[in-house]
Structure formats: structure tokens, C-alpha cells
């Protein structure tokens, strides 16, 4: 499948067949990690990485992926560059994108939480870069979507369950102290529903996600003959689940007056201590896997007993970030 030059901003933008092509290659690369088949795919090529927000897994996995493909990943912080913003003069996205397209073979952008003033600004920025760049634009997590995490998630679920079609995915809000963006949970909803899962979204009243993502998820499930439901109680969603994804996310009121009201979000979330994934709730499932994109807010989103338990796949999923990103880079920037 020819994916050379394709942007990846949201998995919903790609066909299931295109996503499966990435997963198939990622599985091969994982089985035979240092095969000579892979080590020169990005030879002499550079992947630029814009980090508006810090990371652990994202930077490490992309840099390692580029190295193992024979290329180079260049770390960039926009604050060290003269880029135009809403309040400062500088280089426009058009000029920056056009110039970087002359230097590199791909550009990743990570922009979350406090680096934007309103939900959607991060997505707008990536799509503006995609408008002007002639190289692939890859989301390394932004306010709306985290496609690489979604691919790593489903790769891990497939490895443990063999097939996820007809399985039940529970995406449950967890109370926590991090005021997290919606990107990872929204990708989980989208990719789970694209791959034929029954999906349950559980959260307290007042923690609704993007209505467009909810509608897409509902439509994906309908197209696959599967179910989608939203519940607002702590336990019912766990019943019969095969995968439990418990994570905190901010409320729709988090952005006001052009800024993120982070401490207010944290204080509000900590009022719901019952919304934690624990052994008692996991006992209601069909021997479910526990999954999480990390970093895990242990003691809030999930107990140590579950996060470090035998049904937890958090480290497998974290490893798979490397493999899906290698496959993605090879297919969109390399000589596959």
C-alpha cells in the first residue's frame, strides 16, 4: 500500500486498510527488530520533532525509531525559534513549513494542554502545517488526537486477544491530579470502534468529550454492527468488558478566557475518588486487560494492584509506540 507522503493527524482520516498496513509492518518490525531489511529505510533522512510540550515515551520512541531505520530525529523546541504567535511577531507557518520541507522528510508536532488557549487550536496548527508542507505531518499528540498512541493501543490489544472484533472496550474517566487533554482517550474510542469493538464510555456528568468524536465513534460502531453507549455511573461499564482503559481527562470548561484553568480542573477532579479502576471493578469484567497510554497517575486513575497486575498491558503498549512509529515513518517517509 502506497502511503508515502501521507499526513497522520487523526486515525479517523485513514482507512482501516491503511491502519492495518501500519500494524502489519509494525508486527514484522517487532518480531525481527534489527533486520537489515529495516536499517537503511531512512538512511540520510531527517525527521523534525516540534515539542511544545515535554514527553518521555514520545521523544524516546521517535528518536529510537529514526535511528533504527538509519535516519536521524532532530529535537526542536518552538520557544527557541522565531515563530509567529497570536501575541508575537515572527515566521509564519507557511514560511516555516515550506523551508522545513526543503530540509527534512517528515515533521512531528506535539502540542497539548497549557500550550494552547482553547480546545482545537493544536489541531488547527497541525492542519495549517499540513496545508503548506510538502513532507508528512505526524501528530506526536495534540489537543484532539494522538494517532500513534491509538495504533500502539490496538497493536497491544491484538497481541493479547488475537482479535478485538466483538470485544468490549470500556473507556472510563479516572479522577486525578494532572488535568489531561482528550487526545489519547478520543483516539482509543475511534480506533477501537474502527476495529469492530463494542464501546462503552463512562464518565461523571460534566466530563463530556468532543461531540464530533462521539458521533464518529457511534457511526464506526454502527458500520461494524457493534454497540456504543455512554454511562455515568462508576461500575456498570465494567460488566463484561474485555479491555479497560481508565484515564483522567479535563472537562469541557477547562479553557476560558484564552487559558487553561489547570488547578481548578485538578481540584474538581479530585472530588470523585470513587472513579478509580481497582480490583473490585476489574472483577466485574470478562477477565479484562488493563490498558493506559502512560504516564499513569497511580492511586487516582488506577490502583497499583491493577496497573502492575498480571492483566496490565501498559508496558507492552508503551513498547509498541516504537514499532508503530517505525512502521509509520517507513511507509510515509521511506523507501518501502
Query: Of 113, 13, 20, 12, nearest to 324 (Cα)?
Result: 20
Ranges of the chain with pLDDT below 50: none
Q: What local confidence, expressed as pLDDT, does residue 175 receive? A: 94
pLDDT tens-digit map of 301-319: 999 999 999 999 999 999 9
d(C-alpha 325, C-alpha 151), whole Å: 9
C-alpha cell at position 178 = 494532572
Burial group, residue 70, by CB count within 10 angstroms (0-12, 13-18, 19+): middle
Q: What local confidence, expressed as pLDDT, does residue 83 receive? A: 80
* Residue 246 DSSP class: E
Strand partners, 170: 200, 244
Q: What local confidence, expressed as pLDDT, does residue 311 receive? A: 98
Q: What spatial distance separates the first Cα and last Cα of the chain, rounded to whole Å?
A: 9
Q: What local confidence, expressed as pLDDT, does residue 81 receive? A: 82
- Sheet containing 72-76, strands listed edge to edge, beginning at the edge strand earlier in sequence: 72-76, 46-51, 106-111, 137-142
Q: Is the pTM of this model over 0.85?
A: yes
Query: Of 182, 203, 173, nearest to 119 (Cα)?
Result: 182
Q: What local confidence, expressed as pLDDT, does residue 303 receive? A: 98
Q: Which domains does the chain have, with CATH numbers?
A: 11-145+321-333 (3.40.50.1370), 147-317 (3.40.50.1370)
Q: What local confidence, expressed as pLDDT, does residue 160 receive? A: 98
Q: What local confidence, expressed as pLDDT, does residue 86 receive? A: 64
Q: What local confidence, expressed as pLDDT, does residue 292 receive? A: 98
- What are the E-state strand segments in 53-205? 72-76, 106-111, 137-142, 168-173, 198-202
Q: What local confidence, expressed as pLDDT, does residue 57 receive? A: 93
Amino acid at each position: 500500500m502506497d502511503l508515502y507522503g501521507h499526513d497522520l493527524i487523526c486515525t479517523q482520516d485513514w482507512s482501516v486498510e491503511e491502519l492495518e498496513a501500519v500494524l502489519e509492518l509494525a508486527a514484522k518490525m517487532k518480531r525481527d527488530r534489527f533486520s537489515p531489511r529495516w536499517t537503511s529505510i531512512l538512511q540520510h533522512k531527517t525527521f523534525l520533532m516540534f515539542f511544545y510540550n515535554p514527553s518521555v515515551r514520545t521523544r524516546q520512541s521517535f528518536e529510537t525509531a529514526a535511528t533504527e531505520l538509519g535516519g536521524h530525529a532532530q529535537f526542536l523546541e518552538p520557544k527557541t525559534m522565531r515563530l509567529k504567535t497570536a501575541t508575537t511577531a515572527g515566521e509564519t507557518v507557511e514560511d516555516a513549513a515550506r523551508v522545513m520541507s526543503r530540509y527534512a522528510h517528515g515533521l512531528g508536532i506535539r502540542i497539548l494542554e497549557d500550550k494552547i488557549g482553547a480546545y482545537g487550536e493544536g489541531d488547527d496548527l497541525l492542519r495549517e502545517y499540513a496545508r503548506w508542507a510538502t513532507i508528512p505531518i505526524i501528530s506526536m499528540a495534540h489537543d484532539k488526537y494522538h494517532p500513534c498512541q491509538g495504533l500502539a493501543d490496538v497493536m497491544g490489544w491484538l497481541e493479547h486477544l488475537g482479535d478485538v472484533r466483538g470485544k468490549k472496550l470500556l473507556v472510563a474517566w479516572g479522577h486525578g491530579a494532572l488535568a489531561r487533554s482528550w487526545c489519547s482517550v478520543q483516539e482509543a474510542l475511534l480506533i477501537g470502534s474502527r476495529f469492530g469493538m463494542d464501546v462503552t464510555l463512562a464518565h461523571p456528568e460534566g466530563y463530556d468529550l468532543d461531540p464530533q468524536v462521539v458521533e464518529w465513534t457511534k457511526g464506526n460502531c454502527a458500520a461494524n454492527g457493534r454497540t456504543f453507549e455512554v454511562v455515568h455511573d462508576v461500575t456498570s461499564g465494567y460488566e463484561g468488558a474485555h479491555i479497560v482503559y481508565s484515564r483522567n481527562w479535563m472537562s469541557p470548561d477547562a479553557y476560558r478566557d484564552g487559558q487553561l484553568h489547570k488547578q481548578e480542573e485538578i481540584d474538581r477532579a479530585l472530588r470523585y475518588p470513587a472513579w478509580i479502576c481497582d480490583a473490585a471493578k476489574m472483577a466485574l469484567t470478562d477477565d479484562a486487560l488493563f490498558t493506559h497510554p502512560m504516564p499513569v497517575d497511580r492511586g487516582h486513575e488506577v490502583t497499583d494492584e491493577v496497573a502492575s497486575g498480571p492483566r496490565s498491558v501498559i508496558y507492552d503498549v508503551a513498547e509498541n509506540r516504537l514499532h508503530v512509529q517505525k512502521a509509520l515513518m517507513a511507509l510515509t517517509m521511506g523507501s518501502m
